[in-house]
Structure 1
Amino acid sequence: MKSSPEMLKVYKRVRSRTVHVVPDEIVVEILVRLPVKALTRFKSVSKAWCAIISDPFFIRLHLQQQSAKNQEQAPSFLIIPHTLYKAIDSESEFESVYPMLHCDGLFVLPTDTKVYVFNPATHDVLKLRNDQKDEWFYPTVGLGLDLLTSKYKVARFFYRSLNFKKRAYSMGVEIFTIGGDGVDSCWSTVEDCPFPIFPGVVVYFKGSLYLRIWYELVERPPQEFLRFNLENETFSLMCYPELLQPKGKHLDLIELCGELCVAQCLAEQIDIWMLRSDDGHEWVKQYVIRLPDAWNFEVFSVMPNDVKIIRWGSCLYHYDDAQKDTREMVRLDRLRYMNSKVDSFDFVGQEIFLFNILPYVESLIPVTKKRHHSLAK
């Protein structure tokens, strides 16, 4: 990855024939603070601007700027409603609806037959066909950044065979590298999972994917999470916090405030443990959320001095840590969604299956190969 001075040096060479109006350093400082929509338009201003906006270093710098802005101010969220319409004959791709994943402005949407990776800010979409058949009906897909190569990888975990009575299974993993060369333009298989994976959301954190082990399929399951390193594409185990009794309890791996956490749902409270060391041996109880009753809340986002939590369904709640009070913030199914191109619209009266609502930071990260000017030239 080029340093900032190196990027400026190449930028100066690319725009050497243009008129000097604003110092180059100022141009970069201004561009990196602009939203994606504006930067996409500004690519057509000149070859020099197109080169710098398309450069991988600038894209990472812009992402860091947007992430910092989200932490300092009110964060952004992406709301995706899933409606239930009449089934289309011979349609097999969207028979079921599955949760989505977010990483650095990119989203993954698994369907019954494909995996979609898209950037809503740039309208860039990548469609991946599921090459391997999955015997379990619920897809398990992860997305994250390989810190060594700075490329994003999609990991798909699938069951070749599954027998609950005999506790027998065969589980495989396939990887797709986004933006790779010709060798990486299709799914590649890696080592099999050492333990069966509980279907559902996969959490990305600092170069690895974190998954829950499916205890019902293991006679003597380890009291640990499964970690998949995206750099070397290998598995390892990470311990639970000591005080947790995971068997029979509802546990969720989540990322809060840039840290990996475990949320344990008890009778009338949620305990949130935060990881303090990368080896998984130091966990600290960071939050205790007292609930009015045994509702099935899931922790959603942490703000300064308070915690936002979302209940399964269409209600978003605010938890006041000082008052130990939970109150309804908004009903997602009663919101009116504004769009200047298609006018406003709402979902009142429509059949809503669920709302995906995810923390969101917009980015310029591409998911498909596009011809553009590179600063490396």
Structure 2
Amino acid sequence: MAVSLKTIPEIQKVYKRRVRRQVPVIPDEIVFEILVRLPVKAIIRFKSVNKTWHAIISHPCFIGSHLQQSAKNQERKPSFLITPHILDKVIDSEAWPTTFSNYIPFYSWQEGQDNACLVHSTTFRGEFGSVHNMVHCDGLVVLLTNTKVFVFNPAIHDVLKLRNGQKDEWQFPTVGLGFDPRTSKYKVARFFYRSINFSTRTYSVGMEIFTIGGDDNSWRSVAEDPPLPIEPGTVTHFKGSLYLLVWDELVERCPQGVLRFSLEDETFSFICHPQLQSCKGERLNFIELGGELCLAQCLDGKQVIWMLHSVDGHEWIQHRVIILPKPELYKTLSVLPRDVLLIRSGNCLYHYADARRDAREVGRLDQLRYKNPRVGSFDYVGLDTFIFDMFSYTESLHPVTKQGKQRIYKDGNEALDG
């Protein structure tokens, strides 16, 4: 028998009521355990399911638990974030280019893949001319430019532009990013030189802190200046502290050690490394391998990796010696499954296995295909990239802005609100 049109809405209402009664309510604890194991992209979508799920996903406890789960996934199957930097034009007379593109993309890549997939991009529209090395911590990324400092969380498409800090007399500024376990907040540390003179080895170095999500939306100076000159470049975060190399060109005698800055009490301490016979002319950099802080010493034809035996002590143990194929600057990026190291030199990526004791080229950053799912094609086709930023990447839900002040341009790229 045909049903009259007037009764159809009534039948639908009865059916919906019955469905609601039959569907059991999932306890919040179960929802928590399910969501915390999902990738960020899926979790963001689930925020709109209902108010309860939105509250769970936005809670600091959930954000912290999800980060721990992401870190475990990273250990099992490492992922990397790659940012190609291109020049709008080339000026031959420049020591360091001032014509960098203001388009900043982030691509996710896993070892063995031919494609890197776009995660997030931002167009800054003439905000800067030069870029310097990026630093990262727990899924957050800091981009240092000649005009501003920017903080990203690429996974949730969140971008923060920091206010201007104090004037720096050195042309290549240095920043660090780390987590303060006491306040559970992330801090950006900026080192600057009020004055610097290499001929007399005199200098005045300072440091200022920006707390992400803090009450004061500005930089503040630390109580005491760094006790030694800070070498420009990348600052490494490890377990609540920033580790810094001493700039030996500004000291009479190179100290046998490195500086550590505690983000909790904001004080400096000196960590000795007596095993290193000399630091003059050697290239040192900090790396984290297997959850341990290491110091890589680049020598001709090999890289010696020292592991800090105790965070509170001064004992470094020789972890391994890597035989390198060429006398170039190499950087160890990560430990892959089966105890294989992923090493980078320029645009080349190498595998190093202790069993073989040799480095084998496995790919090139300038030969990867950078896929843009928004337009269904590949980026950087036919373009020359000046430099690549690349680092191990753990997804995070931690916001860097309070309200996510971004807007979308018609071309699909994201940009900051003015």
Q: Which residue of 1 aligns with 2:133?
A: 99
Matches within 5 A, 1:135-174: 135-174=169-208
How much has 1:157 moved relative to structure 2?
0.3
Larger radius of gyration: 2
Q: Which residue of 2 aligns with 1:67?
A: 71
Whether 2:293 is the aligned partner of 1:260: answer yes
5+ long unaligned stretches in structure 2? 1-22, 90-98, 101-124, 405-418
Q: Which residue of 2 aligns with 1:84?
A: 87
Whether 2:217 is the aligned partner of 1:185: answer yes
- Residues 163, 218 of structure 2: 8 Å contact kept: no
Give the stretch that moved more between structures: 184-193 or 360-369.
184-193
How much has 1:247 moved relative to structure 2?
2.4
Return the letter of the residue paired with 1:61.
Answer: S
Please give the alpha-carbon distance, in whole angstroms, between the structure 1 residues aligned to 2:333 and 2:395.
Answer: 19
- Residues 318, 326 of structure 1: 8 Å contact kept: yes
Q: Which residue of 1 aligns with 2:3?
A: none
- Residues 212, 225 of structure 1: 8 Å contact kept: yes
How much has 1:255 moved relative to structure 2?
1.4
Return the letter of the residue paired with 2:26.
Answer: V
Name the SS for the 2:189 alignment partner.
strand
Give the stretch that moved more between structures: 50-59 or 286-295.
286-295
How much has 1:335 moved relative to structure 2?
1.3
Please give the alpha-carbon distance, in whole angstroms, between the structure 1 residues aligned to 2:220 and 2:213.
Answer: 14
Please give the alpha-carbon distance, in whole angstroms, between the structure 1 residues aligned to 2:243 and 2:249.
Answer: 19
Cα 1:71–1:194 change in 2 (3 A) is: same
- Residues 335, 346 of structure 1: 8 Å contact kept: no
Whether 2:156 is the aligned partner of 1:122: answer yes
- Residues 144, 230 of structure 1: 8 Å contact kept: yes
Q: Which residue of 2 aligns with 1:43?
A: 47
- Residues 273, 315 of structure 2: 8 Å contact kept: no
Aligned with residue 286 of structure 1, among 319, 334, 340? 319
How much has 1:251 moved relative to structure 2?
1.1
Q: Which residue of 2 aligns with 1:12?
A: none
- Residues 142, 209 of structure 1: 8 Å contact kept: yes
Give the stretch that moved more between structures: 285-294 or 105-114.
285-294
Name the SS for the 2:156 alignment partner.
coil
How much has 1:280 moved relative to structure 2?
3.5
Return the letter of the residue paired with 1:344.
Answer: S
Whether 2:396 is the aligned partner of 1:363: answer yes
Name the SS for the 1:25 alignment partner.
helix
How much has 1:344 moved relative to structure 2?
2.3
Return the letter of the residue paired with 1:326.
Answer: A
Whether 2:328 is the aligned partner of 1:295: answer yes
- Residues 157, 171 of structure 1: 8 Å contact kept: yes
Give the stretch that moved more between structures: 362-371 or 125-134.
362-371
* Superposed CA offset, 1:73-105 (max 9, x none): x200001001011349xx985332211111001
Name the SS for the 1:338 alignment partner.
strand
Whether 2:60 is the aligned partner of 1:56: answer yes
Whether 2:246 is the aligned partner of 1:213: answer yes
Give the stretch that moved more between structures: 22-31 or 137-146.
22-31
Please give the alpha-carbon distance, in whole angstroms, between the structure 2 residues aligned to 1:253 and 1:169.
Answer: 24
How much has 1:342 moved relative to structure 2?
2.1
Matches within 5 A, 1:6-17: none
Name the SS for the 1:129 alignment partner.
coil
Give the stretch that moved more between structures: 336-345 or 115-124.
336-345
How much has 1:158 moved relative to structure 2?
0.3
Matches within 5 A, 1:334-353: 334-353=367-386
Aligned with residue 350 of structure 2, among 317, 335, 350? 317
Return the letter of the residue paired with 2:128.
Answer: F
Please give the alpha-carbon distance, in whole angstroms, between the structure 2 residues aligned to 1:122 and 1:254.
Answer: 26
Return the letter of the residue paired with 1:299.
Answer: T
Q: Which residue of 1 aligns with 2:35?
A: 31
- Residues 140, 199 of structure 1: 8 Å contact kept: yes
Cα 1:295–1:222 change in 2 (3 A) is: closer
Aligned with residue 273 of structure 1, among 298, 306, 330? 306
How much has 1:257 moved relative to structure 2?
1.6
Per chain length, whose mean CA-contact separation is higher, i.e. which structure has more relative contact order (CA < 8 Å, sep 6+)? 1
Cα 1:94–1:132 change in 2 (3 A) is: same
5+ long unaligned stretches in structure 1? 1-18, 372-377
Please give the alpha-carbon distance, in whole angstroms, between the structure 1 residues aligned to 2:332 and 2:35.
Answer: 35
How much has 1:185 moved relative to structure 2?
1.6
Name the SS for the 1:131 alignment partner.
coil
Please give the alpha-carbon distance, in whole angstroms, between the structure 2 residues aligned to 1:243 and 1:329.
Answer: 31
Give the stretch that moved more between structures: 112-121 or 37-46.
37-46
Please give the alpha-carbon distance, in whole angstroms, between the structure 2 residues aligned to 1:305 and 1:197.
Answer: 33
Percent identity, aligned pairs only? 62
